[in-house]
Amino acid sequence: MLQQEPVDAVAKEHEHAAGGLNVRQRADRILRHLTPVDRRNLGLWAGAHLALAILAWMSTWMGGQRSIYNNLVGTYGQWDCVWFEQIAGHGYFSGHTQTPDAYAFWPGQAAAIALAHLLVRNWVVAGLLVSLIAGSVAIVCIGRLGGQRAALYLVTAPAAMYLIVGYSEALFLALALPAWMAARRRDWRLVALLAACAGLVRIDGLYLTAGLLVMALTSEPGRRIRSTAWASLGAAGPLLYEVYLWAGTGSWTAYMQANRAWGLWFTWPWTAFGNTWQRAFAPGLPPDQAAMFQLEIACMAAGIALTLVLLWRHAWPEATYVGLMFITLGTVAYYQSVPRALLISWPLYLLVAKAAEKRPWVGQVYLWACVPLAVITAVFFFLGRWAV
């Protein structure tokens, strides 16, 4: 031992001097942990970026833009991206961020963009970097759960482009999917950490925690109290955000008030459906908005059908997660962001992938139906029109 210590010290000093080599070694170590399916899915993820970049490029010309770099980058930074960038740069309570509207946006995505902005000085590119890294984690996880087909169906969903632009869906999946996988391994401490972080990214972290609680209650009869206690800590993320808003505003209803500012409040499900139907099919509405509301209705139908299938299959944790999400979206003033909720409903892609193994036509029908919707949604977004 006494003779080995100097050798180890010299080796560590040499490794420190060759820092670049260590970085390559660490990268190689990470790559060695990737399976062939992981690598193919990461290639699929790169292909999705290429496809979306082509749509973004063509959209800049369709919109009459000629300053390609500025407008191409800016094309990615529409709608919610602007809100996340404002919060990342100025916080919630500065005079530079519009309140109370900003309170409807959860802090996890903005915090990640702020960190990425330390590396890249463009806010839009910082958001893209967050989604690139988070999406890489998500695509590997969905592939390990359901194979390459599941990954393909995820990146071709109608709202798939939101995994790439600076929205919060990719980061949420990068936390929620590993939390779900950790729950299957009964690693409840990791579950608590990941679920709490997911709850800082989207309100859907509450539904994730509910699903994890059901998993804890149904999968470990002999250790229910311990596993349920750990799983319940996933609610810490949303609770911390509520406390933060209360500290800054003095109100426990700041988040709800922010949603009312966006025209969203709870109502009866038939009222919500009727309001959305009017926006989708009433005469005289802008055609692009009508098309998007029609997609909202279609995705709500898909979410309800998915919940029923999960209940029929006795997949109680998955049904709890998906069902609570669509019940909430179906009881607000009108449907909004339902396709993005379907995007993070990963049991759908696992079910379609499993069905396509025995009946390939199922996967083909899915792709023929979803790919055109994904293209239209992306083009609307890049042209600055309202997209789901």
Residue 9: per-residue pLDDT: 46
> In this model, does residue 1 exceed pLDDT 60?
no
Residue 221: per-residue pLDDT: 74
pLDDT digits (tens, 9 = 90+) for 134-161: 999 999 999 999 999 999 999 999 999 9
Residue 10: per-residue pLDDT: 42
**Does a cis peptide bond (omega within 30 degrees of 0) precede residue 286?**
no
* Structure confidence at residue 6 as a pLDDT band (50, 70, 90): very low
DSSP state of 332: B
More confident residue, 253 or 8: 253
Is there a contact between 343 and 160 (Cβ–Cβ < 8 Å)? yes
Backbone phi and psi for residue 101, each to the nearest 5 degrees, phi listed first:
-55, -35
Distance in angstroms (rounded) separating the CA atoms of residues 133 and 119: 14
> In this model, does residue 281 exceed pLDDT 70?
yes
Is there a contact between 158 and 339 (Cβ–Cβ < 8 Å)? yes
Residue 342: per-residue pLDDT: 97
Mean pLDDT confidence for 27-32: 64
Of 176, 163, 244, 241, which Cα lies nearest the Cα of 210?
Answer: 176
132's CB contacts (< 8 A; 6+ apart) are 49, 164
Return the structure tokens found at 54.
């082509």
Tell me the chain's radius of gyration from C-alpha atoms. Answer: 22
Backbone phi and psi for residue 332, each to the nearest 5 degrees, phi listed first:
-105, 175
Residue 7: per-residue pLDDT: 41
Place of tokens 């915090």: 111
Distance in angstroms (rounded) separating the CA atoms of residues 75 and 82: 11
Of 208, 148, 168, 157, which Cα lies nearest the Cα of 348?
Answer: 157
Mean pLDDT confidence for 274-300: 92
Give strand pairing partners of 332. 266
Most confident of 7-11, 27-31, 42-46: 42-46
Mean pLDDT confidence for 164-181: 97
Return the structure tokens found at 37.
């399916």
Distance in angstroms (rounded) separating the CA atoms of residues 103 and 17: 47
Residue 24: per-residue pLDDT: 63
Q: Residue 37 in 3-state DSSP? A: helix
> In this model, does residue 26 exceed pLDDT 70?
no
pLDDT digits (tens, 9 = 90+) for 80-127: 999 999 999 999 988 777 777 899 999 999 999 999 999 998 999 999
pLDDT digits (tens, 9 = 90+) for 372-384: 999 999 999 998 8
Burial label for 219, CB within 10 Å (0-12, 13-18, 19+), is middle
3-state percent helix, strand, coil for the chain, nearest multiple of 5 = 75, 0, 20
Name the amino acid, one letter, at 314: H
Percent of residues, the chain, with pLDDT higher than 70: 90
The domain locations on the chain are 39-251+260-382
Mean pLDDT confidence for 218-222: 77
> In this model, does residue 293 exceed pLDDT 80?
yes
Characterise 120 by phi-psi region: left (phi > 0), alpha (psi -120 to 50), beta (else): beta
Distance in angstroms (rounded) separating the CA atoms of residues 89 and 86: 5
Percent of residues, the chain, with pLDDT higher than 90: 74
Distance in angstroms (rounded) separating the CA atoms of residues 90 and 210: 33
> If you average pLDDT over every residue of the chain, what do you get?
89
Distance in angstroms (rounded) separating the CA atoms of residues 229 and 238: 17
Mean pLDDT confidence for 244-259: 92
Residue 22: per-residue pLDDT: 65
Give strand pairing partners of 266. 332
> In this model, does residue 310 exceed pLDDT 60?
yes
DSSP state of 99: T
More confident residue, 198 or 72: 198
Nearest 5°: CA angle at 366, between 184 and 294?
105
Q: Residue 121 in 3-state DSSP? A: coil
Of 220, 180, 169, 109, which Cα lies nearest the Cα of 377?
Answer: 169
> In this model, does residue 371 exceed pLDDT 70?
yes
